[in-house]
Structure 1
Amino acid sequence: MGTRQPVGESALISHAKQTLKRVFTPPSHSLLPLVLLGCVIGVFAGLVMACFISLLSMILGWLNGSSLEDFESLAWGWRLGLPILGSLLLILLYRFTPASAQTVGLAYVVERLQFGRGRLPLANTAFQFVAALIALGSGHSVGREGPAVQMGAGVGSWLGQRTHRPPSQLRLLVGCGTAAAISAAFNTPLAGVLFAMEVVLMEYSILGFAPIVASAVSASAFSRILLGEHTVLTPTRLSLADYGDIPSLLLTGLWLGLVAVIFLYMVRLFLRFPLKRRSYKLLLAGVITGVLALWVPEILGSGYDTINLALSDQLPWLLLAMILLAKLFATAAAIGLGVPGGQIAPMLMVGVCAGGLAGTLVPGGSEPGLYALLGMAAMMAAVLHAPLAAIATVLELSLSAQAMFPAMTVVLTANLVCQHGFRQPSLILTLLKTQGRLMHSDPLRTALAQRYLTELASLRFSTLDAAQPNEIAKVLSQPQPWVVVDYLSHRYLLKRTVLEQAYELQQVTPVKDANLHWLTSLLTANRRLKELSADASLLTALKNLQQEDCAGFLLPVGYQGVGLVTRRRLVRRLTSDERIH
């Protein structure tokens, strides 16, 4: 026989476990732990992005030399065959990867936030890492931003799950990972913060701002330590020459809005392309990109070198027009046919070419490079419905607050044309719709769909089996406000005081041969609890309450067991300013 552990030591160990649980699982309303977690996520995301950028630079350096994006210097056979080779490698990767790990990208992250409680499997993140290296290294018309979002969000989700965050905070930590990854990849922390809140989380909040900023700043600092200065877009000082150029800005915004509409229309055409097998789609995307690259090699890859040339007015308008047309077609094919890469860099390149083309044609004294910069922001804003993130990108690239006025003018005009004039949904919503996922557009429904019952769940209840009335006295001795009664395969909710009063009355005037009648008479239909096998959103809970007059919900609450959400608690949470603990 083993030695018996002293009672005092057992109590000490139990107290230590509870203390550690409180440290690593702090109250949901505490901001400091979220900020600290944001910093940790920033460091981890910065490390992941540093590894990704280093490996990608190694591949591009082997192909193109020191000028990593210089696909234009490749021989015609390489320009044709490289995207096709990349498609073949992607087909092999898909074949040897479990189907559950194959869904990736920015749209997948948003879908997991809306319908998956912010849980992103690490297998999908690892798949995105490898697939993005193949797609970007082989010159497909995709960007690194989508993979960066997936990887950063995956890091944030994993750390949030490891620290047992509730679903709303898990959403926030996914936003932290998104901002961290973009900040680490492009040295644009402000744009990363706004992109995370505007495109991924689709909401702004005081609680969320501090952790996301902390994550973006720590990721940017850590990636600079590992990689040094690694800006992919060269900052350039551009400003409006004269306010008399405002009509030209409006025309540019109108033009960019139309380009965005055409782009979204082309993406939908490729999404509906009559090919069933993914391998055929990937191969077609490679063929389209390779054939176009024979005449316009600038479309290969993310195209940051071409963007920098356009911003510095080094490309003639005819070449800009050729790149614009070819890049539109190649990018729409890559996105619509399912190449696992990002959408933002190609959109920026389309926008910079369309803006630079407008700058050479519209009247005014401003530099064409300014219009190229504004076109880049307008395209991003119109396609993703992210005007603030686009304006922040202009601010961080132009190094001048004077560029804000023309940026706001062009971005607003392009957004109005695309979103309101032609009623085009964002690219993310378009991709989700093809997957059968319809997101809520009403702000109230969206807010309710993004909050979950586990955030309100309480463990302050006792359980009683109605078939064992001898246990009632023991249950009443516990200081819990609620009692869950199990009777005839159903669960009922009683206040402990109500049960106590009925029990005392029965003790005074017992009824012969009906010692359970006094208890079962309390178990009315409106006191029945609805048992859930998994967490549910507040929107789903309200729908259940409309369909069934129940007293509340019983649901699993992670490692803590089963939690209780009463109807009264839910109503108070939605109608009262009082914080519920």
Structure 2
Amino acid sequence: MNTDQESIGRQVSAPKLIALTLSGSILIGVACAGFLWSLEAVTKLRFGHPWLLFLLPLAGVAVAWLYQRHGGESEGGNNLILDRIHDPGGGVPRRMAPLVLFGTLATHLCGGSAGREGTAVQMGGSIASAVGRHCRLTPVQLQALLMTGVAAGFGAVFGTPLAGAVFAVEVAVVGRPKLHALPLCLLASYVADWSCSVVGAGHTHYHIREVVAGTGSTAGLILLGKLLLASLAFGLMSRIFSHACHALSAAFKRWISLPLLRPAVGGLLVIGLFFATGTADYLGLGVWSPDPGAVSLMSFFNSGEIHPWSWWWKFVFTAVTVSSGFKGGEVTPLFFIGAALGNALAGVMGAPPGFFSAMGFVAVFAGASKTPLACTLMGIELFGMEHALPLAMACFVAFLCSGQVGIYRSQRFHSPRMSSGAPD
């Protein structure tokens, strides 16, 4: 075993692999910057022209046709990336990066409730695979290089490089992180985040405005008790969301045999939900809005108001959007759902709304992605080291309550009785 570990260590520390990681990470960081700029532009365009929502079914059909005609394996999305980490031999198609970029921008231009993590991870995996395509890498090195692409994309798009690196080693096999690639993933994530910032791309900043009592006081212990109950709800929400998306996706495939029609029906359902709610607050990314009275991720930290049902409506809009085949991913909507649920629970429990929103922000994603350590670190990077203990409690409790079904179908669960198919 020691010999095997030494061999893996030599392979992942090879100068050639380090050079490929550096060059790939710079490219991924610049690509993520371009993606963030483009996403901001199409979001502003949608806010300025609300009628674009009515083009959502047509946009869905166009993207589905493009994937059907030219996508090949790229249709697998994040699950293809995880499959290639498990079995690195196949590589990731170079076409995945431009296809998912176009598909995500089309989704957001027309108001689909999707995220941006899927796009960044797929762009990162595609670029990393392309950089090492002709370099005669071993399977261990190919696996590590692909993981650096995941780390770089995640770290750059959210501005959380430490979380990005840990997410890359934690997500593929639940309970057995691939620690041999962690140094390279740290290098990749920080270089990509740096290059993204150097070219001028910015990130959203969140702040917990309330002064929260320390755990050494009676008030602090009571608050932790309330947070423990809320964390159970965060984990349950993760479980329900994952099951709902998988079930709804299967229903679309069962009821609508033509793949091109699924996003068309999904787009019509989103339009119907818009009219049913009478608000555009749950369309698109949901991070910000030009309307100061709108519900958005930023509003959960800035307004102090309680929104009892915003989590539910974002849940429904997102489940319909992603399950019918629109591109972008689920992560930023999960941030919204978690923050909104935290806000609602704060109103019920008499807790600080901003603080509970921050806990829900990362905890629901921790349960849905099965990456509690990465989400704890993301919370620390976003909200500050002083909240490390409650963030860790929220993320790990939510993870433990979330069951064994997550948003990534190709994710594996480690069992001591079974050996992993990939090097660790």
Matched, 1:395 2:375: no
Which one has a bigger Cα radius of gyration? 1
Q: 2:244 aligns with which of 266, 269, 276?
A: 266
The corresponding residue for 2:168 is 196
1:371 and 2:359 are equivalent in the alignment: no
> Matched residues, percent identical?
22
1:44-79 residue CA offsets vs partner (Å, 9 max, x unmatched)? 1112212222333332333335xxxxxxxx64x544
Q: 1:226 aligns with which of 185, 194, 199?
A: 199
Amino acid at match of 2:355: L
Whether the aligned pair in 2 keeps the contact of 1:36 and 1:211 (CA below 8 Å) is no
Which residue is 2:263 aligned to?
Answer: 282
The separation in 2 between residues aligned to 1:90 and 1:359, in whole angstroms, is: 40
Rounded Cα–Cα distance in structure 2 between residues aligned with 1:29 and 1:211: 8
Q: Which of these residues, 19, 40, 43, is aligned with residue 36 of structure 1?
A: 19
8 Å CA contact 1:104–1:340 kept in 2: the answer is: no
1-side partners of 2:87 and 2:18: how far apart? 25
Choose from 128, 131, 134 the match for 1:159: 131
Paired amino acid for 1:383? A
Question: Which of 389, 395, 398 is residue 414 of structure 1 equivalent to?
Answer: 398
* Contact 2:74/2:93 (8 A) holds in 1: no
If asked which structure has higher relative contact order (CA below 8 Å, sep 6+), I would say: 2
Q: Which residue of 2 aligns with 1:125?
A: 97
CA distance in 2, matches of 1:108, 1:163: 21
Distance 2:360 2:344 in 1: 9
Bigger fraction of residues in helix: 2
Question: What is the distance in 2 between the residues matched to 1:207 and 1:262?
Answer: 33
**Matched-pair contact (CA < 8 Å) for 1:377–1:411:** yes
Aligned pairs for 1:473-552 within 5 A: none
Q: Which moved more, 1:350-359 or 1:249-258?
A: 249-258
CA contact (8 A) 2:117 2:332 kept: yes
Matching residue within 314, 317, 333 for 2:307: 317
The CA deviation at 1:239 is: 6.0
Return the offset for 1:209: 1.8
**Unpaired segments ≥5 residues, structure 1:** 1-25, 66-73, 433-437, 453-581
User: What secondary structure sits across from 2:402 in the alignment?
Assistant: helix
Worse overlay, 375-384 or 197-206 = 197-206
Q: 1:60 aligns with which of 43, 59, 71?
A: 43
| Structure 1 pair 427–398 and aligned structure 2 pair: CA distance change class (3 A) | same
Greater shift in the superposed pair: 302-311 or 51-60: 51-60
Kept in 1: contact 2:334–2:365 (CA 8 A): yes
Match of 1:168 among 140, 143, 149: 140
Q: Which is richer in strand?
A: 1
Paired residue for 2:34, among 24, 48, 51?
A: 51
Contact 2:156 / 2:189 at 8 angstroms: preserved in 1? yes
Q: Does 1:253 align with 2:231?
A: yes
Letter in 1 for 2:100: Q
1:467 aligns with none
1:378/1:410 contact within 8 Å kept: yes
Superimposed CA distance per residue, residues 86-108 of structure 1 (whole angstroms, 9 cap, x where no aligned partner): 2233244235x335154142222
Q: Which residue of 2 aligns with 1:353?
A: 340
The answer to whether structure 1 residue 114 and structure 2 residue 99 are counterparts is: no
Match status 1:209 vs 2:209: no
- Contact kept, 8 Å, 1:266 with 1:329, in 2: the verdict is no
Is the 8 Å Cα contact of residues 248 and 363 (structure 1) preserved in structure 2?
no
- Give distance in 2, aligned partners of 1:394 and 1:36: 31
Q: Deviations over 1:324-370 (max 9, x none)?
A: 12211121222322222211111111111101111111144xx2101
State whether residues 146 and 342 of structure 1, in contact with CA within 8 Å, keep that contact through their aligned partners in structure 2. Answer: yes
Residues 423-442 of structure 1 correspond to what in structure 2 (within 5 A)?
424-429=404-409, 432=410, 439=412, 441-442=414-415
> What one-letter code is carried by the residue in structure 1 that aligns with 2:389?
F
Q: 1:307 aligns to what? A: 297
Task: Report how many residues are paired.
Answer: 397
Q: Structure 2 vs 1, CA of residues 132 and 439 (structure 1 numbering), >3 Å: closer, same or farther?
A: same
Q: Quick check: 260-269 or 367-376, which moved more?
A: 260-269
How far the C-alpha of 1:162 sits from its partner, in A, is: 2.5
Aligned counterparts of 2:56 and 2:305: Cα–Cα separation in 1: 25
C-alpha contact 1:191 1:392 (8 A) present in aligned 2: yes
What is the distance in 2 between the residues matched to 1:287 and 1:222? 39
Structure 2 length normalisation: TM-score? 0.86
Matched, 1:86 2:64: no
Is the contact made by 1:180 and 1:220 (CA closer than 8 Å) also made in structure 2?
A: yes
* TM-superposed deviation, 1:236: 4.3
How has the CA–CA distance of structure 1 residues 211 and 363 changed in structure 2, closer, same or farther, with 3 Å as cutoff?
A: same
| Aligned-residue offset at 1:126 | 2.5
User: How much has 1:445 moved relative to structure 2?
Assistant: 4.2
* Post-superposition offset of 1:235: 4.3
Work out the CA distance in 1 between the residues paired with 2:19 and 2:211: 38
Structure 2: distance between partners of 1:52 and 1:157? 19
1:256 is displaced (CA, Å) by 1.4
Cα drift, residue 387 of structure 1? 0.4
Letter in 2 for 1:402: E
- C-alpha displacement of 1:212: 1.1
From the superposition, tell whether residues 256 and 162 of structure 1 become closer, same or farther in structure 2 (CA, over 3 Å): same
Opposite residue 299 of structure 2, the aligned amino acid is L
- Please give the alpha-carbon distance, in whole angstroms, between the structure 2 residues aligned to 1:43 and 1:188: 16
SS, match of residue 428 in structure 1: coil
Structure 1 partner of 2:368? 383
Residues 1:138 and 2:110 aligned together? yes
Letter in 1 for 2:325: G
Confirm or deny: 8 A CA contact 2:166 2:373 kept in the other structure: yes
| TM-aligned CA deviation for residue 151 of structure 1 | 0.5
Q: TM-score, structure 1 length as denominator?
A: 0.64
Per-residue deviation, 1:205:
4.9
Q: How far 1:408 sits from its partner (Å)?
A: 1.8
Q: Is the 8 A contact 1:40 1:215 kept in 2?
A: no
Moved more, 351-360 or 111-120: 111-120
Partner residue of 1:243? 221
